[in-house]
Chain A
Amino acid sequence: MTAFVRNQWYVAAYSAEVGRELLGRTILGEPIVLFRAEADGAVVALSDRCVHRRFPLSESRRDGDRIVCGYHGFTYDTTGACVYVPGQQRIPRTARVGAYSVYEQDSLVWVWIGDAEPADPKTIPRAPHLADPAWTTVRGMEPIDADYLLLVDNLMDLSHETYLHGGYIGTPEVAETPISTEVDEGAGIVRVSRHMDDAECPPFYARSTGITGRISRWQDIEYQAPCLYLLHSRVAPVGAPPPGPDGSDSHAFHTEITYAITPSAEGRVYDFWAVSRDFAVDDEEVTTFLRDFNHKVVMQDVDALNLLQRALATEPEGYQELSINIDTGGLAARRILADLTVAKP
């Protein structure tokens, strides 16, 4: 199992998922209950275990901005302090559950998991397209019964699109086109770039953009370890002008594919996925198509990683792997995660 990287911000939920209902999530093995306070609309994140007998608070009920344990009625305020215990006046000094630092940004609810304080929200990586009205986003979340590193590996090497997602997003050119890999050690970012000048247009883009011929397809990955992965995708008909020096690129279709990779527990990871586009933003048919189609693609990965994890579980310890050129970015990501584990235990 890959060690967790603590003292980091992780995506616990989409903003839209957190409302008046209690929502339970487990992050890096820590059960957390989330809800939105009536008083100020802020997201509250508390340890999801009552101090009394460890009953899950997420399976309990709210009373205003308080959580009343569903087992014996221990009641907690938004800071995690216990304000009521049944049948007695004295509330034990230790009657408190942990409260987590929370920050909402780019339609994501980030939670700080770790010991070191202060948790500085300025260090949270950005995905501004997720909340930008100029972009339309479809999204979802799938738990996977696999080590989170298997999902990182999967996303860092897109040559698997050709084989696992053929007929959806993969075409022969993806696996055949070399990549460039860049590691910004100081910023903790791995970038993997694959630019295809003349490629088949997969159904994902053909049906959403209306392009019928061959395409120029750029895939620029930006992995900001440990949690946020962005794939900047640019698709244009072959022969269309490249982006201008000022960044203008009106001949191309841009898609931002976002993943938040949040380790849940040993051998389990939350796969938050989102596809944002800057074209046909008001076209409901395209929105529906991309949501359904991308969900199928995500489930192909989910099924494959569930299977892979089960297979790896039967391997003897210290099993051998073989890495080739396509793995250059994945190896870089592994190494950065290993360094973060050591640097911030």
Chain B
Amino acid sequence: MSGSSGGPASAEVYRIDWKPGDDTLYGVCHCGAEHRDTDPVRMWEWMLAHPRGHSTDRENDTGEHEHG
């Protein structure tokens, strides 16, 4: 992401990508856990549940699955 002029970045960064030609959201937690979902509300719920349901193993589900 470019154009940053804010304060220094902290270690706790969440990222959600939505790629062209695809309705799926791809989330990466600051711990490195990954998650896919088709609903941004569910995606944020997963993100902010950290560390519950988070693992650095890639998850390929669509939001219903949790482990850990």
Contact = CB atoms under 8 A, between A and B. Distances in A.
Interface in B1-40: 1-20, 22-23, 25, 30, 39-40
A62 interface: no
B9 A187 contact: yes
B32 to A, nearest CB: 15
Interface string A167-187: 000000000011111111111
A325 B25 contact: yes
Contacts of B17: 178, 180-181
A324 B18 CA distance: 11
A154 interface: no
Contact of A177 (B20, B30, B44, B48): B20
A191 B1 contact: yes
A182 B9 CA distance: 11
Contacts of B30: 185
Nearest to A176: B20
Interface in A292-330: 323-325, 327-328
B14 to A, nearest CB: 5
B15 A182 contact: yes
Q: How many of chain A's residues touch chain B, expressed as a range?
A: 20 to 34
B6 A222 contact: yes
A325 to B, nearest CB: 5
Q: How many of chain B's residues touch chain A, expressed as a range?
A: 20 to 34
Contact of A220 (B3, B9, B10, B41): B3
Contact of A325 (B1, B7, B23): B23
Nearest to A321: B41
A127 B8 CA distance: 15
Contact of A328 (B2, B9, B11, B25): B25
Nearest to A220: B3
A125 B3 CA distance: 15
Most buried by B among A126, A183, A184: A184
B4 A323 contact: no
A25 interface: no
A189 interface: yes
B10 to A, nearest CB: 2
Contact of A182 (B13, B19, B20): B13
A128 B44 contact: no
Interface string A183-214: 11111010101000000000000000000000
A125 B6 CA distance: 7
Interface string A216-238: 00101010100000101010000
Nearest to B7: A187
Contact of B4 (A127, A186, A222, A327): A222
A186 B18 CA distance: 23
A189 B14 contact: no
Given A180-B17, A325-B23, A328-B16, A191 B41 contact: no
A269 B8 CA distance: 29
Contacts of A52: none
A232 B3 contact: yes
Given A218-B2, A243-B2, A335-B44, A187 B8 contact: yes
| Across the A-B interface, the 8 shortest Cβ-Cβ residue pairs | A186-B10, A232-B3, A220-B3, A178-B18, A185-B12, A328-B40, A183-B14, A181-B16
15 contacts: A177-B20, A178-B19, A178-B20, A178-B22, A179-B18, A180-B1, A181-B17, A182-B13, A184-B12, A185-B14, A187-B10, A220-B3, A224-B7, A327-B40, A328-B44
Interface of B: 1-20, 22-23, 25, 30, 39-41, 43-44, 48
Given A178-B18, A234-B3, 7 more contacts: A180-B15, A187-B6, A220-B3, A222-B5, A328-B16, A328-B44, A332-B14
